[in-house]
Structure 1
């Protein structure tokens, strides 16, 4: 008789755990990827150099982050593991597709004038 009562309690507990765990993931979204750009005092081939910081303000890692980068250009050589400009425009991969984790910002620089409005366009949220 106790096993008949215990099974629904265990199933109910597991269901509640799954719902509450999933609830944490739904709080994260693309708005948690924050891009800031600061003009530095540096110049590269006659263009202003901008320092870009990309932060994830969510507890959940976000991988495959893509920035809208249509028309992007630079006179500064860039690390392709941090930001990959694609000639076809549109979307540019950040951090080589690896997760952007809260507290571990992705930083890169580019040189152009005026600055480009790099904005988050896509990501995959991965909560455990």
Structure 2
């Protein structure tokens, strides 16, 4: 047994209850549940230019330190430049992002976040004006 660096690794949760630690990567071939921990200093590290959508499952976004905001795009309005603020997350809080909802995250202060999601089927769409 060995300790795992949460910021350079990710966990893959298998259907039989198995867990594997792997080098962190974002790839459309990652089927099943993935758990990643990220340190974000600013909006630039949270992909402010894009909306994101997870078609294969909900996402749980947890804030360990710092503060972030989650925005949903107005339904069927890809030109919505800001979206609707739905949550401000601070240390020890989490939010379930519904399957298929376009969303984005902004960084209010440097943060450590942990995300549980199904990466396969994730779509990114550039925001209007970026």
Q: Shorter-chain TM-score: what band?
A: 0.3 to 0.5
Which of the pair has the greater relative contact order for Cα pairs under 8 Å at 6+ separation?
Answer: 2
More strand per residue: 2
Normalised TM-score (structure 2): 0.35
